[in-house]
Amino acid sequence: MVKYFNVVKSEIKFEIVLYFQNMVAVITDLIVFSLIFLAFVLLNSGMSLANTYNIDIQYSKVLLFMGYFVWTFSSRALTCISAELNFEASNGYLFSKLTSILPIQFLYFAKFIGALFSQLVIMMPVILIAFIFWPTPPINITSILAIGFIVVVDLIGMYGI
In the predicted model, what is the mean pLDDT of residues 109-127? 84
| Rounded Cα distance, 112 and 119, in Å | 11
**Global pTM?**
0.77
- Residue 161 burial (CB < 10 Å; 0-12/13-18/19+)? exposed
Q: Confidence class of residue 48 from pLDDT cuts 50, 70 and 90?
A: confident
Task: Assess contact for 92 and 49: CB atoms under 8 A.
Answer: no
Instruction: Tell me which residue of 97, 93, 94, 119 sits closest to 19, measured CA to CA.
Output: 119
pLDDT at 67 over 80: yes
**CB neighbours of residue 48 within 10 Å:** 11
Given its phi and psi angles, is residue 34 left (phi above 0), alpha (psi -120 to 50 degrees) or beta?
alpha
In the predicted model, what is the mean pLDDT of residues 63-78? 84
